[in-house]
Amino acid sequence: MSGKSFNPFRMAQVQFDRIADMLELDQATRDFLRYPVREYQFSIPVRMDDGSVKIFRGFRVQHNDARGPGKGGVRFHPQETIDIVRAMAMWMTWKCAVVDIPLGGSNGGVVCDPHNLSTKEQEQICRGWVRQISRDLGPLVDVAAPDVMTSGQHMVWMLDEFEAIRGQRLPGFITGKPVSLGGSLGRKEATGFGVVFLIREALKELGLRPEQTRASVQGFGNVGQPAVDLFKQLGGKVTSVACWDQKDQTSYCFKKESGVEFEALLGITDRFGSIQKDRALEQGYELLPGEAWIEQDVEILIPAALENQITSDNVERMSKNVRIVAEAANGPMTPEADKVIARRNIFLIPDLLANAGGVICSYFEQVQSNMNYYWEKDEVLGKLDVKMTSAFDEVVQFAKKKKMYMRDAAYYIAVVRVVQACKDRGWL
C-alpha cells in the first residue's frame, strides 16, 4: 500500500464529516455516527502444527445497527488493524443504507497471513474467532461473511463452531457459505458481477458501448475475477490485470493489448488471486510493475484489490482516456484523489454502490438460509441486477439534481436513511 500515514478510519470519518456538514447534522448525531457503537478486540490462542501456541489478534466492530442486524466481512491479513475494521464497518452501514437493505454495518478481522498457515491452523483461528465473540453474533444480531483471504471454507468452520455452541442449526449466522451448506447460488460472482452491472449503466449515461471500451483491473481475486469475466461477456476488453506476488512481496501488472483471455488467466492463478509470472509470459503477457495498472490507456479503471490505491501520489498518472472509475474494492481512493477525479469529470462509481453486490447477495443468502428455501441462480442474479440498478439510478438522479459528485450523492442518501432510523428509534 502506498501513502505512509494512511488511516482508513480517519478517511471514513472525513468522508462522513463532509456529508454531516452538508446535512447540518447536530453534534450528538455526528458524535454517534463518527464512531462505532460497539467494538471487540480479543486474543485467539492457536496450537500450531509444530506444537507451539501462538496468539492471534482478532476484531469485530459493529458501527450501527439501527436499520437491521450488523453485516460485514472477516478479513485475514498480516496488516489488519482495528482502524481498518472500523472503517470497513462504517462503510458497510452506508452501503446497506444506500442500496436500501435492512441491515447495519459491521466488520471483523484477524491479524494473520494464511499464506503461512496450514489448513488446520486456519480452522483453529476461525473457531477461536467465533468462540471469543459468539455471544454478540447471530442471524438477528450480526452476520459475518468472507473478505480478503477468507473463503467459503472459513465460513463453514465458523458456522460449525457457532452451531456447536448454540446447539442448533443456524445457517443464517454467516454468509458466503458453499452452496452445499446453505450458501446462495450466485454469491461467488455477485460482487464482481454487480460492479459490471453498474459499469454497464454508467456507460449508458456516457453514451458509450462496452465494445468501445478497455479496462485495467487491480486485483484478480473473489471480486476481480468475475468482474473481468462479465465485462468481457458484455463486449468490453480487459487489457491489464494487476495482482500481488507473495514470493517477491510486490505486485505486478500483466498486460495484453489484445485483451486477456479469462479462462486461460484463471488457469494460472492461485487461490489467493496471484498469477504465475512464468506461465503468464508463456501466454504472451507483458510483465510490468504493479503500479502500472493505473497508467494504462483505458476508458475504465477497476481497483479491486485493497484500500488506499488511488492517491495524490498516482492519480495524475491516469490516462486522459479514463472515463469511469468503478471502485470494486473498499476505500481504494483517498479524499485528495477524489478532488482530481471530480475536476477531471471522470464518472465515479463509488465503492458504496460499486461493490454492494456482495452484501446484497449476502442478504439474499441470509433470507434463503433463514427460510431454509433456496432460489435458482438466475433468480438471484436477476434480483441482484434490479436492486443494484435501481440504487444506482437513484444516486445518479440525485447527483444530477443537486449537481453533486457521485460519492457525495451516495453518502448523502445513505446518511439521511441511517439518521432517520436512529431518530425513529428515539436514539437521537
Question: Are 133 and 40 within 8 A, CB to CB?
Answer: yes
Please, which residue, 184 or 355, has the CB nearer to ligand NAD?
355
Options 22-30, 48-56, 221-229, 230-238: segment touching ligand NAD (CB under 6 A): 221-229
Q: How far is the CB of 165 from ligand NAD (least distance, A)?
A: 26
Query: Where are the alpha helices (H) located in 78-223, listed in sequence order?
Result: 82-98, 119-133, 152-166, 187-206
Q: How far is the CB of 309 from ligand NAD (least distance, A)?
A: 7
Q: How far is the CB of 223 from ligand NAD (least distance, A)?
A: 4
Give the SS3 label for residue 210.
helix
Please, which residue, 29 or 62, has the CB nearer to ligand NAD?
62
Q: Among 93, 274, 296, 369, which residue sits at the site for ligand NAD (rule: CB under 6 A)?
A: 274
Question: Are 116 and 149 within 8 A, CB to CB?
Answer: no
Options 48-56, 254-262, 299-307, 379-387: segment touching ligand NAD (CB under 6 A): 299-307
Question: Are 253 and 290 within 8 A, CB to CB?
Answer: yes
Q: Among 84, 101, 158, 243, which residue sits at the site for ligand NAD (rule: CB under 6 A)?
A: 243
Please, which residue, 25 or 145, has the CB nearer to ligand NAD?
145
Grid cell 490462542 in the structure block, residue: 45
Question: Are 93 and 100 within 8 A, CB to CB?
Answer: no
What grid cell was written down for 422? Answer: 436512529
What grid cell was written down for 104? Answer: 447495519
Q: Among 58, 108, 224, 226, which residue sits at the site for ligand NAD (rule: CB under 6 A)?
A: 224
Which sign, positive or negative, has the C-alpha torsion 49, 53, 59, 60? Answer: positive
User: Of the candidates 225, 269, 224, 275, which has an alpha carbon nearest to the alpha carbon of residue 252?
Assistant: 275
Please, which residue, 351 or 419, has the CB nearer to ligand NAD?
351
Minimal CB distance residue for ligand NAD: 221
Please, which residue, 65 or 291, has the CB nearer to ligand NAD?
291
Q: Among 301, 305, 360, 380, which residue sits at the site for ligand NAD (rule: CB under 6 A)?
A: 305
Options 6-14, 17-25, 165-173, 267-275: segment touching ligand NAD (CB under 6 A): 267-275
Binding mask 121-160 for ligand NAD (x = CB under 6 A): -------------------------xxxx-----------
Q: Is 6 exposed, middle or buried (0-12, 13-18, 19+ CB in 10 A)?
A: middle
Q: How far is the CB of 171 from ligand NAD (least distance, A)?
A: 18
Q: Is residue 109 part of the contact set for ligand NAD (CB under 6 A)?
A: no
If you ran DSSP here, which 8-state letter would residue 290 be given?
A: G
Question: Are 333 and 6 within 8 A, CB to CB?
Answer: no
Q: Which residues pair with 138 in a beta bridge?
A: 142
Strands, DSSP E only, in 180-315? 214-218, 237-245, 250-255, 286-289, 300-303
Q: Among 16, 197, 244, 375, which residue sits at the site for ligand NAD (rule: CB under 6 A)?
A: 244
Q: How far is the CB of 95 from ligand NAD (least distance, A)?
A: 8
Q: Among 96, 203, 304, 384, which residue sits at the site for ligand NAD (rule: CB under 6 A)?
A: 304
- How many residues bind ligand NAD, per CB under 6 A? 28
Q: Is residue 93 part of the contact set for ligand NAD (CB under 6 A)?
A: no
Residues contacting 161, CB < 8 A, separation 6+: 126, 127, 130, 131, 134
Q: Which residues pair with 43 in a beta bridge?
A: 57
Q: Which residues pair with 109 in a beta bridge?
A: 59, 75
Q: Which residues bind ligand NAD (CB under 6 A)?
A: 146-149, 191, 218-224, 242-244, 251, 272-274, 290, 304-306, 328-330, 355, 358
